[in-house]
Each structure stands twice: as C-alpha cells, then as structure tokens.
Amino acid sequence: VVSSEELNLIRESDNEYELALTNREILFMFRKMILRWFSPAKRETNEFIRALISGDIESMNAYMNKVTLKTISYFDTGNTPSDEEPERFFHGFVLGLMVDQTENYIITSNRESGYGRYDIMLEPIDKTNEKYPGIVIEFKVINPRKENSLEETVAAALKQIEEKNYNAELIKRGVKEENIHHYGFAFKGKEVLIDGR
C-alpha cells in the first residue's frame, strides 16, 4: 500500500510512524478489514462502548478486567511499573475498541489540548445530541514511588485531565462543558481500574 502511494508517511520517530490514507476507497477498505478483525467480539465491545458513552463505570471495569484476565499476557503489559510499554499497549487496545464509532465521533489520540497532550479524545460529530458526550481518556501505569494503589493512580489520571485543561479543544469545537466525560484508566500488570467524572 505504501509503494502504491495509497498510504503516506506523515511523521516518523524511533519505531513509531504516523500514516495517512490518500483516498476514500482505501479508507473504507481498511475500516472493513479492521471491523472484520473485531467482529467476533463486537457485541461485548459494543457493551463496553455503551458503558463508556453512558458513564457506566462499573460495566467498563467489569469488561476491561475480564478481557485482561482472559486474553492479555504479562508480556503485553510490561515487566516493570516504570515501563512506558504497558500504557502504550492499553492505549492501543482501547483505541481499537472504538474503531466502529466513527459515525458518531471524531476520534483522536495524543494531540494537544489545553496545557498538554491527552491520550484519547472522542469529539461528538453532532454537538447538540447529548446522547453522545465528549470524552477525554488518560491512561496511567501505577508508579510505586508516587502511588500506593490503583485508586491513587486513577485519581492522578483524572487530576491530570483537569489540571491540564484537556477539555479546551472540545469546548472550542462546540461541546458543552457539562456534556464532557473524563475517564482515568489505571494499570498494574493485568489489573485495571477505571474511574470517571
């Protein structure tokens, strides 16, 4: 796809690449391919997405912990709490769960907003439909030098969203502040804790 110029390299750093699709046919082909990858788990994934959109933190925690216990290895989540890899792994995993929400949301990752760079943002396409809130997600791996529990880690993630004013971009684009959900995802090995405001 790269050699046929249907996929352009936008930015390269270390082992990470930002790519862009050059036409709609290729975009639709990739979208179908990715949806096929996730179709066996689509019903459960949709339950997670429904919980995310509606603010059902208990269901989000149940889903994420079930998935990590059944399918994810300690090798996926990193060997030490200070590794950046566990955060990247879960970031990519959660982003993948959102792949079929492009009709309702503009989904962005690692972009600037306010005074920093959020992990994931879901901007509702229809800003007037309160059924689809704006969503800001921050991932944190427990740091034993700073935190004693996943509860402290998830609180730090939520605090970062507020202190760095990650809402700024959503508000600038017309999302009402009262219709923006914040979620912190905290990780320790295969343990996950999600909280929100």
**pLDDT value, residue 84:** 54
- Measured CA to CA, the distance from residue 157 to residue 126 in angstroms comes to 27
Encode pLDDT of 111-135 as tens digits.
888 889 999 999 999 998 889 999 9
**pLDDT value, residue 43:** 52
Asked if residue 164 lies in contact with residue 114, where contact means CB atoms within 8 angstroms, the answer is: yes
Question: Looking at residues 23-31, what average pLDDT do you find?
Answer: 75
Query: Mean pLDDT across the chain, nearest whole number?
Result: 83
Handedness of CA 132, 133, 139, 140 (dihedral sign): negative
Question: Looking at residues 17-35, what average pLDDT do you find?
Answer: 74
Query: Residue 9's CB: how many other CB atoms inside 10 A?
Result: 10
Q: SS in 3 state form for 123-160?
A: EECCCCCCCCCEEEEEEEECCCCCCCCHHHHHHHHHHH
Q: Looking at per-residue confidence, does 74 or 151 come out higher?
A: 151
Of 94, 97, 125, which Cα lies nearest the Cα of 110?
A: 94
Check whether 82 has a pLDDT greater than 50: no
Q: Tokens 């930015």 sit at which residue? A: 11
Contacts of 123 (CB under 8 A, 6+ apart): 105, 106, 107, 108, 134, 169, 170, 173, 175
Q: At 74, is the pLDDT very low, low, confident or very high (cuts 50, 70, 90)?
A: low
Check whether 109 has a pLDDT greater than 80: yes
User: Per-domain residue ranges for the chain?
Assistant: 36-196
Q: Left (φ > 0), alpha (ψ -120 to 50) or beta: where does 93 sit?
A: alpha
Question: Looking at residues 134-146, what average pLDDT do you find?
Answer: 92
**pLDDT value, residue 59:** 94
Check whether 1 has a pLDDT greater than 80: no
